[in-house]
Amino acid sequence: MSVPTIDDVISAQTRLAGIAYKTPLLRSHIFDEMLGARVYLKAECLQRTGSFKFRGGYNSIAALGEKAKKHGVIACSSGNHAQGLAEAGRLLGVDVTIVMPEDAPAIKRARTERSGAKVVTYDRATGDRDAITNKLAEDTGAILVHPYNYVPVIAGQGTAGLEIVEELKAQNIAPDMVLTPAGGGGLLCGLYLAISNGFPDVQIYPVEPQGFDDYDRSLRAGKRLANGKTSGSLCDAIITPMAGEISFSIINGNIPHGYVVSDDEALQAVAFAFNELKCVVEPGGAVALAALLTGKVECRDKNVVVMLSGGNIDPDVLQKALADNF
């Protein structure tokens, strides 16, 4: 099995230079005072297409040879990988097909199609997205770009970590911990490769929605464990069947455990980000922030980096978050 290295992440940064946005590390003195910590929030909700997924999508297509590009690419995604890959395909002139669950947020599907991608839907509760995607790839000859179990995707996501390292080192700050939303682990693995290379003593933790905590359970068990269901959370962006084989092979043994938050706690974090940071963050992108807000993570007197991984939220979900948390 091929696995990514820090060199792959550095190569991805070269491909993405001038294309992906260098997103800021935001600060909130109110938040710092609440926690008694120094918190740096990586605002990937401000990335192209509204999430970190653009990084991995663009790197994956840009790394293909010209012959492979002519066949197009295909992927399965609930929306953020779809949008990132679709926009990368538009920029690079490559056809993109996305297999997307029928219950994916409407805004994510609309923006995927706006970038020119073809969307094929399936029932998340009864359909096998991997089987559908693999069959389409076989029939069309398209290159399968898995949303997290694919080396160029992981390397691309890791470029967000390189930016974190560069900015903190410029300020002579060493992070004690990094909290990141986690689904299949592509972002988690990319951040681990990049940030631990710059700060070997840092602790990196995944955060997941309640009922879909396969990464936390897998880390504690030392082997990959599946989720018992495939739908049923507002944190749709990070619902996956189980931890990706590639990412888990690197993370297992190096990260002890993760944290878990409820949908209500994620919505509280969405409202906090809107009210205090003036950022629009989707529930799945806000779970790491939620883990801090709810006191699940002991962080007093520490330097903490938090990934705000995506901002593609349906208006009605944002309205609910704000209505319930004022």
Domain boundaries, the chain: 6-52+151-324, 54-144
* Matching fold, domains 6-52+151-324 and 54-144: yes
Task: Share the mean pLDDT of the chain.
Answer: 95
Q: What is the pLDDT of residue 109?
A: 87
SS (H, E, C) 34-68: HHCCEEEEEEHHHCHHHECHHHHHHHHHHCCCHHH
pTM of the predicted structure, to 2 decimals: 0.96
- Could you give the C-alpha distances from 133 to 52, 67, 71, 156, in angstroms and in order? 22, 21, 15, 22
CATH 3.40.50.720 fits 54-144, yes or no: no
CATH 3.40.50.1100 fits 6-52+151-324, yes or no: yes
What would the pLDDT profile of 145-155 be if each residue is shown by its tens digit? 999 999 999 99
What would the pLDDT profile of 286-319 be if each residue is shown by its tens digit? 999 999 999 999 999 999 999 999 999 989 999 9
Strands 73-76 and 143-144, by their bridges, are: parallel
Task: Tell me 185's DSSP state.
Answer: S
Query: What string of DSSP letters covers 284-325?
Result: GGGHHHHHHHTT-S--TT-EEEEEE-B----HHHHHHHHHH-
Query: Do residues 231 and 239 make contact, with C-beta atoms less than 8 angstroms apart?
Result: yes
